[in-house]
């Protein structure tokens, strides 16, 4: 594992990604302590461009709120939504995929048809419908994102389990009297971990994008300041105050890019043979 | 004058490999029309030297020194373009695994035509005609039909014949064969060997034959080169190397060949365990697999195991021998319920395994354990050896501390250091892993052990060690064993009785000496006749007798 970490950090892109992510995490954790006031509070006159007034480095938005404070609080929301919804998607997808791959036959058919049912609906449309039904609170935003993003996890895990379950060490575990649950969790899943980790890191990025898109459409939680919400409210003034959409946009871009770089780096580090071949 | 001269060849491995050079100081020559065998265990660099001749070195591996002279030209440092000219036309190659060496989506005929096409020879019609001729020459049945077949429609031996036909297409002066028969059954192997022998005589072709099997060497080689960790340790005419080896490594390799030796009489005496109680009783076991099939198509039904009936006595070892597809592995897995049999009964001491399910099956199964073929996939790569050896006992209610204690004992029993419990499988060699697999099988104190090709994936010298270990454990712990193998020589060494299977049926069963000495069934005789190196063994015996 240590060797894998060395390989990971020796990848330049991955190191940059990790660096950006660390900054975002630090901002999310420490930022709200510095900007302890509510980001919704009006602090100055509206439409102040960046770097014009001391103490407001990124200026103010259409209602005179501090853009910097919004950005800092938004980081916390974006990361929270990205991480939690990915974890929830894994919690749904991994057991379904593992069961389908291990038991095969009817169980596999039933679970995979169920998965395909979710896959055939465009995920963004489904998320919008779900949020239109429930109240748009942070809890439901996370739930909606998780519900639309677990099918690829299930499919990936199923494939991995299918190929691992016929290994001889799994047969040996069966013969030694271990229970099915033990075989799946202790013999098979640990060996299926590398591709799942890679997929999860990329899912965090998609979840952040999805949350931003939902907030942009006004379907996010109205009580939390998020990057998507900031872009959404600024779109009406994009010609007069373009920076109001641009700044949170850059934040999203950098975070998603960082997650993708990390995902790619993890892929190379965990599948060293694959990456060497592709070069 | 020799055809190919390799002088002082050294091939560098990338930094971080286990040694700086894959091969070093390799010097040999190849004469017209001779078969030169390069022998060595895995990792000896035997394939690497041949790949250097073809310019097929893997990325990161580069020739560091030396020359390969072919027709007065150094072909080691040729450009890719000039090399392409030589490949196929002057030197061609056949590989170990004929399935992966052929394009699965192209008809066989088209693949042979491609060889001509690559060198811009002949018209399309002539190419097809030549393809049919070539397939006829390599002895493929119904060559006109075979040119239109896809690789998956042919058997392993037939695919290898197609590969040979492709290699012969441009009548090369040198044929390099890299373990061409390792993936094949003995009878098929014997046919392919005689085909290569015939062809070289007819075309006066020189053959470099890479193998790990001294039996094969004894059958076809004119000259032999023995390699160990990248260096040539001995070379010379076949009779000299095989009968009067000078280097200790060659001697140890030859001694490790499992011969059809007579077993020592005291083992024979013990084998009279027919009077001891029956421990495993198999009755009328059947398993059929059906593949394909649909609304309008009849499913293909394969009788993998057909009415298998036998008794295994306490302390006895029965060998289940057969070629691939004979159902021997399926039989082993059905007995232990890794595959559910269609009908029939399996009684282990006084429990009927075939009637159990769920928890009671899990408990009963601890009395029958298995040793697997592939030492690399039979151990969980993410579990420490301690965990691998204790999981079974813990699942059966043994306290962790006690199970760990037992794991250490088992490791020293199979000849490993008890401190191995804290290490991961990848830190061990193939032979050591197989010892761990044996320790795992013993961890639950089984009554019966089923060894499924337990030594087939190992080098001969390691194979001999593991067989010795098994024989020793068998004697010490009075184990009863089912030994599934394709290799009659291995079976001869360890089994009390032998059961020969063909297409799911037992064709012959009896004491080892009788089955191997006076086989009743024609199939057993053909299997015995196909074992490579039989003449050599007689020669050895004569040589020993005359001394």
Q: How far apart are CA B417 and CA B232, in angstroms?
A: 33
CA distance B3 to B433: 43
Whether A168 sits inside 8 A of B374 (CB atoms) is yes
Report the largest interatomic distance among the alpha carbons of chain B, rounded to a whole angstrom: 76
CB atoms within 10 A of CB B25: 14
Whether the per-residue pLDDT at A142 is higher than 90: the answer is yes
CA-closest candidate to residue B386, choices B406, B369, B372, B368: B406
Determine, for residues B338 and A175 on separate chains, whether the beta-carbon distance falls below 8 Å: yes
Least trusted range by pLDDT, from A147-151, B268-272, B301-305, B455-459? B268-272
Average pLDDT over residues A248-265: 90
Among the partner residues A172, A177, A179, nearest to B372 by beta-carbon distance? A172
Residue A217 has pLDDT above 90, yes or no: no
Neighbours of B45 (CB within 10 A): 24
pLDDT value at residue B297 = 60
User: Is there a contact between A171 and B363 if contact means CB atoms under 8 Å apart?
Assistant: no
- When pLDDT is averaged across residues A165-172 and rounded to a whole number, the result is 89
3-class secondary structure for B215-265?
HHHHHHCCEEEEEECCEEEEEEEHHHHHHCCCCHHHHHHHHHCCCCCCCCH
3-state secondary structure of B71: coil
Is pLDDT of B547 > 60? no
Distance between CA atoms of residues B473 and A174, nearest Å: 24
CA B400, CA A125: separation in Å to the nearest integer?
52
- In 10 A of CB B140, how many CB atoms? 23
pTM of the model: 0.80
What is the token pair recorded at A211?
Answer: 């949350």
> Contact A177/B379, CB-based, under 8 Å?
no
pLDDT of B1 reads 61
The CA distance from B332 to A112, in Å, is: 33
- Which residue in chain B is spatially nearest to A191 when comparing CA positions? B382
Residue pLDDT, tens place only, A8-33: 777 888 899 999 999 999 988 888 88
Q: Please state, for a pLDDT cut of 90, what percent of chain B lies above it.
A: 15
Q: Tell me what pLDDT residue B299 has.
A: 65
Quick: pLDDT tens for B408-423: 999 998 888 998 888 8
Residues of A in contact with B366 (CB under 8 A): 176-177
pLDDT band, residue B298 (cuts 50/70/90): low
Cross-chain Cβ contact B368/A187 below 8 Å = no
Residue A254's pLDDT band (cuts 50, 70, 90):
very high
Task: Provide the 3-class DSSP secondary structure of residue A106.
Answer: helix
- pLDDT band, residue A272 (cuts 50/70/90): low
pLDDT given at position B259: 63
Lowest-pLDDT range of A177-181, B184-188, B338-342:
B184-188
To the nearest 10°, report the CA torsion of B27, B31, B37, B38. 20
The reply to whether ipTM tops 0.85 is: no
The per-residue pLDDT for range B70-105, each reduced to its tens digit, is: 888 888 888 888 888 888 888 999 888 777 888 888
The distance of Cα B546 from the centroid of its chain, to the nearest Å, equals: 34
Residues 186-225, chain A, touching B (beta carbon < 8 A): 186-187, 190-191
- Report how far residue B309's alpha carbon sits from residue B278's, in angstroms, rounded to the nearest whole number: 13
Instruction: Check residue B269 and give its pLDDT.
Output: 45
pLDDT band at B56 (very low <50, low <70, confident <90, very high): confident
Residue B396: count of CB within 10 angstroms of its CB: 18
Residue A165 CA, chain-centre distance (Å), reads: 29
Residues of B in contact with A169 (CB under 8 A): 377-380, 388
Task: Give the per-residue pLDDT at A4.
Answer: 67
Judge whether A137 is closer than 8 Å to chain B, CB to CB: no
Question: In this complex, is the C-beta atom of A275 within 8 Å of any C-beta atom belonging to chain B?
Answer: no
Residue A279: is its pLDDT beyond 60? Answer: no
Is the Cβ pair B381, A191 closer than 8 Å? yes
The per-residue pLDDT for B272 is: 47
What is the distance between the alpha carbons of residues A203 and B257, in angstroms, rounded to a whole number? 55
| Segment A102-130 mean pLDDT | 92
Judging contacts by C-beta atoms under 8 Å, the chain B residues touching residue A176 are 366, 369, 391-392, 395, 440, 443-444
What per-residue confidence (pLDDT) applies to A92? 95
Which tens digit of pLDDT belongs to each residue from B430-478?
888 999 999 999 998 888 999 988 888 888 888 888 888 998 888 888 8
Question: Does residue B271 carry a pLDDT above 50?
Answer: no
Distance from C-alpha of B401 to C-alpha of B353, rounded to nearest angstrom: 30
Residue B501 has pLDDT above 60, yes or no: yes
Contact B368 A175 (CB under 8 A): yes
pLDDT of A96: 95
In this prediction, residues A127-132 reach a mean pLDDT of 90
Average pLDDT, chain B: 85
User: Percent of chain A having pLDDT more than 70?
Assistant: 95
Do residue B372 and residue A179 have CB atoms under 8 angstroms apart? no
Chain A positions in Cβ-Cβ contact with residue B410 (cut-off 8 Å): none
Q: Give the contacts of B171 (CB within 8 A, at least 6 positions apart).
A: B203, B205
Judge contact between A24 and A254, C-beta under 8 A: yes
Q: Look at A278 and B111; give whichever has higher pLDDT.
A: B111
Q: Output DSSP code: residue A49.
A: P
């Amino acid at each position: 594992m240590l060797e894998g970490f060395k390989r990971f950090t020796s990848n330049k892109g991955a190191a940059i990604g990790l660096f950006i992510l660390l900054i975002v995490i630090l901002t999310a954790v420490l930022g709200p302590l510095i900007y302890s006031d509510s980001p919704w509070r009006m602090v100055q006159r509206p439409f102040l461009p960046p770097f014009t007034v001391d103490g407001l480095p990124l200026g103010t938005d259409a209602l005179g709120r501090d853009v910097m404070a919004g950005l800092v609080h938004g980081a916390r929301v974006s990361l929270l939504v990205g991480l939690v919804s990915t974890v929830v998607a894994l919690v749904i997808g991994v057991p379904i995929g593992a069961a389908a791959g291990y038991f095969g036959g009817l169980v596999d058919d039933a679970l995979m048809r169920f998965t395909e049912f979710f896959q055939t609906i465009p995920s963004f449309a489904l998320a919008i419908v779900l949020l239109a039904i429930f109240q748009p609170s942070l809890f439901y935003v996370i739930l909606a994102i998780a519900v639309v993003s677990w099918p690829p996890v299930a499919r990936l895990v199923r494939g991995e389990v299918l190929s691992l379950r016929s290994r001889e060490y799994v047969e040996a575990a069966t013969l030694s009297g271990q229970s099915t649950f033990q075989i799946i969790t202790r013999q098979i899943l640990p060996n299926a971990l590398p591709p799942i980790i890679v997929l999860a890191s990329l899912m965090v990025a998609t979840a952040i994008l999805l949350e931003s898109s939902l907030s942009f459409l006004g379907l996010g939680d109205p009580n939390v300041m998020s990057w998507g919400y900031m872009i959404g409210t600024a779109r009406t003034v994009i010609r007069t105050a373009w920076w109001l959409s641009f700044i949170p946009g850059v934040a999203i871009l950098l975070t998603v890019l960082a997650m993708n770089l990390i995902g790619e780096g993890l892929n190379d580090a965990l599948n060293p043979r694959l990456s060497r071949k592709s070069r | 004058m020799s055809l190919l001269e390799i002088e002082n060849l050294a091939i560098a491995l990338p930094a971080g490999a286990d040694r700086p050079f894959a091969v070093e100081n390799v010097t040999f020559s190849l004469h017209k029309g001779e078969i030169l065998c390069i022998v060595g265990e895995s990792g000896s660099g035997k394939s690497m030297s041949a790949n250097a001749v073809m310019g097929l070195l893997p990325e990161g591996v580069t020739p560091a020194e030396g020359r390969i002279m072919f027709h007065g030209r150094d072909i080691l440092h040729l450009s890719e373009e000039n090399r392409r000219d030589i490949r196929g036309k002057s030197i061609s190659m056949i590989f170990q695994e004929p399935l992966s060496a052929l394009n699965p989506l192209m008809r066989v005929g088209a693949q042979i035509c491609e060889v001509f096409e690559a060198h811009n020879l002949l018209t399309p019609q002539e190419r097809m005609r030549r393809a049919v001729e070539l397939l006829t020459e390599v002895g493929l049945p119904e060559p006109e039909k075979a040119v239109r077949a896809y690789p998956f429609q042919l058997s392993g031996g037939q695919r290898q014949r197609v590969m040979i036909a492709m290699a012969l297409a441009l009548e090369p002066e040198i044929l390099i064969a890299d373990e061409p028969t390792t993936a094949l059954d003995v009878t098929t192997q014997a046919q392919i060997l005689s085909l290569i022998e015939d062809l070289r005589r007819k075309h006066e072709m020189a053959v470099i034959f890479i193998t790990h099997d001294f039996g094969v060497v004894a059958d076809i080689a004119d000259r032999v080169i023995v390699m160990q960790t990248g260096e040539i340790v001995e070379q010379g005419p076949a009779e000299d190397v095989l009968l009067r080896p000078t280097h200790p490594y060659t001697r140890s390799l030859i001694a490790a060949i499992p011969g059809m030796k007579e077993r020592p009489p005291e083992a024979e005496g013990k084998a009279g365990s027919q009077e001891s109680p029956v421990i495993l009783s198999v009755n009328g076991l059947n398993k059929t697999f059906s593949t394909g099939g649909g609304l309008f198509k009849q499913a293909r039904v394969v009788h993998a195991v057909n009415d298998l009936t036998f008794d295994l006595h306490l302390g006895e070892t029965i060998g289940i021998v057969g070629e691939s597809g004979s159902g021997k592995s399926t039989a082993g897995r059905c007995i232990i319920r890794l595959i559910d049999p269609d009908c029939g009964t399996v009684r282990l001491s006084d429990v009927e395994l075939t009637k159990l399910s769920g928890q009671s099956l899990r408990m009963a199964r601890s009395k029958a354990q298995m040793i697997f073929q592939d030492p690399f996939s039979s151990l969980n790569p993410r579990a420490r050896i301690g965990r691998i050896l204790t999981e079974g006992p813990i699942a059966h209610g043994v306290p962790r501390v006690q199970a760990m204690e037992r794991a250490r004992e088992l490791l020293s029993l199979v000849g490993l250091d008890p401190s191995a419990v804290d290490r991961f499988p990848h830190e061990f060699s193939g032979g050591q892993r197989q010892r761990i697999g044996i320790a795992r099988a013993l961890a639950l104190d089984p009554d019966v052990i089923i060894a499924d090709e337990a030594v087939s994936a190992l080098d001969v010298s390691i194979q001999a060690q593991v067989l010795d270990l098994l024989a020793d454990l068998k004697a010490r712990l009075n184990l009863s064993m089912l030994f599934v193998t394709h290799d009659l020589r291995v079976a001869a060494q360890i089994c009390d009785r032998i059961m020969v299977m063909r297409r799911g049926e037992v064709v012959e069963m009896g004491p080892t000496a009788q089955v191997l000495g006076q086989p009743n069934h024609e199939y057993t005789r053909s299997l015995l006749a196909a074992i490579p190196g039989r003449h050599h063994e007689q020669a050895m015996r004569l040589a020993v007798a005359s001394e």
